[in-house]
Amino acid sequence: MGGDDVTLMCDADLAIDFVCKFLSEFENNTSFVKGFDKSKERLNACAGIAFCNEKFPFFMAVKLANELCQRAKSDSRGRDSANPPSSLMFHNIQDAFVGSFDEIRKRELIIKNDSQEIACDFGAYYLNFKFKPNIQTLQEVILSFRDKQSPKSRLREWLNVLKEGQTKADNELKRIVTIFKDKWIDKHAKKLENPLQEDRETNGERISKLKEGLSVEKLIVEGKTPIFDILQILAVESKE
């Protein structure tokens, strides 16, 4: 612990739930700060999680977690500079050479095919922030993917096919939807659906509107997909 930063080491399958609970309780308790309007004002906090095995150098994991935290913080301020939401970013370390997150992103988290560039880091994920990626929805989606009937293996393959070409990937996704409609999709698909909020300024006025977002049939929005994030959490959980 240094200044207002907290570093914690815990089992991988507890990390997301712990951070969500910590951020939520932090916001709730700071809403009682003297001079704050409880219904509107509270302090926020941001977090970075570096998933690694027990043999990985601790200082390198902490360095990456801190960098992820700083990115989450910067992203939150970009969403709302006056009252930024609490947020989270994470990464599952799979390479002995870590480097900066920018290097990791270029090396592992960008897919380029014949028609577009897709980022596999869908975050930052926000706490209690509608129409943007949020931690609570991520938790619900992870829970649904723990179902033995979930298409997680086929979606791993979809990510690989995505590298080969967009049309081929679109056809693969259609097959997945057809195969898993009765097994899993009819029961869980709603958890993936999330309209997005588009903000713009016109004559100094901030205007927001909703547009089509994520769905089972549309797993790429604004050049990003959450599937890699979902699969990497499942990969580090003992529950998978």
**What pLDDT does residue 2 have?**
41
Which of 63-72, 76-85, 193-202 has the highest mean predicted lDDT (pLDDT)? 63-72
CA–CA gap between residue 32 and residue 224 (Å, rounded): 37
pLDDT at 34: 59
pLDDT tens per residue across span 76-124: 998 888 888 999 999 999 887 778 999 999 999 999 999 999 999 999 9
pLDDT at 40: 60
Of the candidates 27, 80, 74, the one whose C-alpha atom is nearest the C-alpha of residue 48 is 74
Residue 96 is predicted with a pLDDT of 76
Q: What pLDDT score does 160 carry?
A: 96
State the average pLDDT for the chain. 85
Percentage of the chain modeled with pLDDT above 90: 59
Cis peptide before 82 (omega within 30 of 0): no
- The pLDDT value recorded for residue 208 is 47
Burial of 148 (0-12, 13-18, 19+ CB in 10 A): exposed
Query: Are the CB atoms for 230 and 145 separated by under 8 Å?
Result: yes
- Using alpha carbons, select from 107, 128, 111 the residue that is nearest to residue 27: 128
Distance from C-alpha of 82 to C-alpha of 41, rounded to nearest angstrom: 10
- For residue 156, count other CB atoms closer than 10 A to its CB: 15
What is the total residue count of the chain? Answer: 240
Q: pTM for the whole thing?
A: 0.85
Residue pLDDT, tens place only, 132-148: 888 998 999 999 999 99
Which residues make beta-bridge pairs with 214? 194
Q: With 60 as the cut, is the pLDDT of residue 23 above it?
A: yes
Residue 240, pLDDT score: 46
Say whether pLDDT at 14 is over 80: yes
For tokens 């989270």, what's the residue? 88
**Cα–Cα dist 156/140, whole Å:** 19
199 pLDDT band, cuts 50/70/90, is: low
pLDDT band at 1 (very low <50, low <70, confident <90, very high): very low
Full 3-state SS string of the chain: CECCECCCCCCHHHHHHHHHHHHHHHHHHHCCCCCCCCCCCCCCCEEEEEECCCCCCHHHHHHHHHHHHHHHHHHHHHHCCCCCCCEEEEEECCCCCCCCHHHHHHHHCEEECCCCEEECCCCCEECCCCCCCEHHHHHHHHHHHCCCCCCHHHHHHHHHHHHHCHHHHHHHHHHHHHHHHHHHHHHHHHHCCEEEEEEEEECCEEEEEEEEEEECCECCECCECCHHHHHHHHHHCCCC
Residue 62 binned pLDDT confidence (cut-offs 50, 70, 90): very high
What pLDDT is attached to residue 30?
78
Residue-wise pLDDT for 148-165, tens only, equals 999 999 999 999 999 999
Q: Check pLDDT > 80 for residue 36.
A: no
> C-alpha angle with apex 99: 98 to 102, nearest 5 degrees?
110
Q: pLDDT value at position 39?
A: 56
| Predicted local distance difference test score (pLDDT) of residue 203 | 54
